[in-house]
């Protein structure tokens, strides 16, 4: 049984950047539904018992039944992506990453401002629903990509990339407060990114 990450902050504590109702709905309804649907599908896939979600998503083609494979892709992706998303937000977030992540950003993008621009542009250009990602490869090099729907870099790069931060640009992530102005949501989100957490994930991924 996969479980939603426990939030270390209250639904209203990311205000005014992310509003309480969006957090309640996003975590309590959308993320909960992905998690339940994933667990439901896995009951019918006993071969996957004991595997981590990363192992499952990297090897989706191991699921023979096309319907179940799609269910695991969409809901397993939704489960994993939101666990990462909610774990990397914090009321004390914002600012810039320090340490080895900070220096790698300077070496790969020139500056944190440049990384922020690249991530924001990727997030703004996703057509329809999807995500923009900051990932690392095994050598610690950072990459910005985007994916449609609930796909993620584990799936697109066969486990060679590990996502360490993602921007959810599904309308359910911002529409209640920002309506059609996705760019404002993206800018606001940077005020609540927990870069210390992202830096830890960067260390663990290498």
**Is there a contact between 106 and 96 (Cβ–Cβ < 8 Å)?**
no
Shortest Å distance, C-beta 123 to Mn ion: 13
Q: Any contact of residue 151 with Mn ion (CB under 5 A)?
A: no
- Kindly determine how many residues on this chain lie close enough to bind Mn ion according to the rule CB under 5 A: 3
Under rule CB under 5 A, residue 170 binds Mn ion: yes
Q: Does 131 bind Mn ion (CB under 5 A)?
A: no
Q: Contact at 8 Å (CB) between 186 and 124?
A: yes
> Per residue in 104-133, is it b (16+ CB within 10 Å) or e — as a string?
bbeebbeebeebbebbbebbbebeeebbbb
Nearest residue (CB) to Mn ion, 151 versus 168 = 168
CB closer to Mn ion out of 168 and 194: 168
Rounded least distance, CB 110 to Mn ion, Å: 30
Residue 76 and residue 57 in contact, taking contact as beta carbons nearer than 8 Å: yes
Tell which residue, 124, 98, 93, has the closest CA to residue 112: 98
Nearer to Mn ion, 48 or 193 (CB): 193
Name which of 78 and 97 has its Cβ closer to Mn ion: 78
Least distance in angstroms from the C-beta of 72 to Mn ion: 17
Count of C-beta atoms within a 10 Å radius of residue 66: 8
Q: Report the C-alpha gap between 2 and 170 in whole angstroms.
A: 22
Q: Nearer Cβ to Mn ion, position 32 or 62?
A: 32
Q: Which range binds Mn ion by CB under 5 A, 66-74, 89-97, 153-161, 166-174? A: 166-174
Residue 168 interacts with Mn ion (CB under 5 A): yes or no: yes
Contact flag: residue 79 with Mn ion (CB under 5 A): no
φ, ψ at 193 (rounded to 5°): -80, 130
Q: Cα–Cα distance between 33 and 122 in angstroms, integer?
A: 27
Shortest Cβ distance from residue 131 to Mn ion (Å)? 8
Q: Which residues bind Mn ion (CB under 5 A)?
A: 168, 170, 173
């Amino acid at each position: 049984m996969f479980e939603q990450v426990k939030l270390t902050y209250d639904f209203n504590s990311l205000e005014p950047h992310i509003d309480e109702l969006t957090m309640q709905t996003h975590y309590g309804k959308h993320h909960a539904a992905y998690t339940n649907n994933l667990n439901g599908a896995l009951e019918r896939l006993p071969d996957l018992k004991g595997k981590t979600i990363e192992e499952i998503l990297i090897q989706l083609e191991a699921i023979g039944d096309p319907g179940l494979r799609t269910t695991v892709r969409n809901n397993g992706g939704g489960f994993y992506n939101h666990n990462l998303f909610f774990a990397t937000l914090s009321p004390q977030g914002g600012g810039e990453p320090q340490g080895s992540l900070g220096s790698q950003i300077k070496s790969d993008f020139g500056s944190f401002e440049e990384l922020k621009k690249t991530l924001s542009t990727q997030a703004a250009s996703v057509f329809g629903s999807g995500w923009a990602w900051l990932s690392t490869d095994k050598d610690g090099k950072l990459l910005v990509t985007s994916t449609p729907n609930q796909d993620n870099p584990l799936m697109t790069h066969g486990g060679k990339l590990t996502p360490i931060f993602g921007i959810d640009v599904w309308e359910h992530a911002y529409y209640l407060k920002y309506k059609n102005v996705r760019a404002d949501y993206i800018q606001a989100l940077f005020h609540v990114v927990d870069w210390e957490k992202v830096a830890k994930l960067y260390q663990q991924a290498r």
